[in-house]
Structure 1
């Protein structure tokens, strides 16, 4: 089982198998990133998880940081052989995201609330973290998360995905009213997939390529089977055959699966 410890501003002490030097380095890196931006951050949560250590699964530390700035959630994660390396990578990613959000909030304050092509021309490090647990031949669903989907434009959805370091973001497209998935990929770096056949959106600046066919309706058991026979595929977007709402089945750190579904 992974060893996980949480560090917050209210309780900065670190418990568990971590040295004082590692704890001090973590506070220095994360605190340094937070101190560089104009808008204050709160709800800081840092999770450090140690995984592996067996022959089939080398040791790895996953550092994940969650923080809120003006009701916008920023999430970063990084994996490395040592805690210091993982924290350094997470700190660099956090700094880039904080600075990008800071620029956006400053623009909002001056009355510019939209996005422009320039918002997508300065990429910053992404930190994809693949499965770090032992391999599983048949992944099973170990977490089901029901959530209220945000009604957003493709621009706002892409921005939220970037800030949260997600490989995908499930939302309701504000121009069509249907569930949609924006995810990384395609010739432009962003790809948009709808849960139903709808006219292509027009008012956006993010460089997206639009999937021509809608998500396929299928039962959960079928989705699990498809993902299990395609180990290189990190997630699958499909719809509930009954409600036609969009769902995402995705791979977790431990090699098993999670299901993200909208609340009806």
Structure 2
């Protein structure tokens, strides 16, 4: 049994909001609800809300086109996990495991978060590991398509290759319009996006992964865009939800 609002709720009856984008079999939403409830079965804290968002990208070149996000409010603290997979069921199996692991971490990183706040990122210590991974969505696209992918993936940033400017670019949530672009090589936009977007002035720094790691560590920021000195490609080093670093590349 857990708690939803002020009243006790049996987890089998816990409302789990599921939204999908792209083709999924009709039974996938109910399967997602069962997986989330199973992951939360042994949570010792009140569950205030749980939701899942699943996206299937139609690009046949993507080996893992299904992205699944779970967001759970555990007694006022937000817990978020994300998986990529080749199929919906594979993704939900991984989501259940990741969510249960994240819930177990709450005891190791106590603290209460208010409603609407971003999830806490645990500190991995002085020597965080670096885990390389590709971008979750198609690599080459327009700015408007990248913004749509950013929203579909429910992420804070998205690295892509802008097909109109031929420049590696990051779109992220910031600025008066809600979206902002940072480019490896500053270039005026060839096509005006349908969505208003601000643009950073200047080129991204050219760094090795080691230098980018030190810059990220000292900056206190959640991520840094740089041109990899070994490849010249746009690369993002970011703090993962486990406190370790993720290295996003376009190769």
Q: State the TM-score, normalized to the length of structure 2.
A: 0.62
Give the direction of change, closer, same or farther, for the CA distance of 1:41–1:140 in structure 2 (3 Å limit): same
Could you say what secondary structure the match of 2:13 adopts? helix
Instruction: Give the alignment partner of residue 73 of structure 2, picking from 66, 69, 80.
Output: 80
Query: 1:163 offset after TM fit, Å?
Result: 1.2
Q: In the aligned structure 2, how far is the partner of 1:217 from the partner of 1:247?
A: 10
2:245 alignment counterpart: 257
Query: 1:164 offset after TM fit, Å?
Result: 0.8
Query: 1:86 offset after TM fit, Å?
Result: 6.0
Query: 1:249 offset after TM fit, Å?
Result: 0.6
User: Within the alignment, does 1:41 sit opposite 2:24 as a pair?
Assistant: yes
Is the 1:73–1:164 Cα contact (8 Å) retained in structure 2? Answer: no
Query: 1:69 offset after TM fit, Å?
Result: 5.2
Q: What CA deviation, in whole Å up to 9, does each residue of 1:143-198 have, x standing for no partner? A: 11135852111111001101111100111101122211000112221110111132
Q: What CA deviation, in whole Å up to 9, does each residue of 1:185-232 have, x standing for no partner? A: 12221110111132323331111111111211101111111111223x
2:120 alignment counterpart: 130
Could you say what secondary structure the match of 1:229 adopts? helix
1:230 alignment counterpart: 219
Q: State the TM-score, normalized to the length of structure 1.
A: 0.59
Give unmatched runs, 5+ long, in structure 1.
1-19, 91-124
Q: In the aligned structure 2, how far is the partner of 1:255 from the partner of 1:185?
A: 22
> Aligned residues, how many?
195
Give the direction of change, closer, same or farther, for the CA distance of 1:189–1:68 in structure 2 (3 Å limit): closer
2:3 alignment counterpart: none
Instruction: Give the alignment partner of residue 242 of structure 1, picking from 223, 230, 243.
Output: 230
2:177 alignment counterpart: 188
2:52 alignment counterpart: 65
Instruction: Give the alignment partner of residue 17 of structure 2, picking from 30, 42, 54.
Output: 30
Tell me the C-alpha RMSD between the 2 structures: 4.1
- Bigger CA drift: 164-173 or 61-70? 61-70
User: Within the alignment, does 1:160 sit opposite 2:149 as a pair?
Assistant: yes
Is the 2:78–2:118 Cα contact (8 Å) retained in structure 1? Answer: no
Correspondences of 1:139-178 after superposition (within 5 Å): 139-147=127-135, 149-178=138-167
Query: 1:21 offset after TM fit, Å?
Result: 2.3
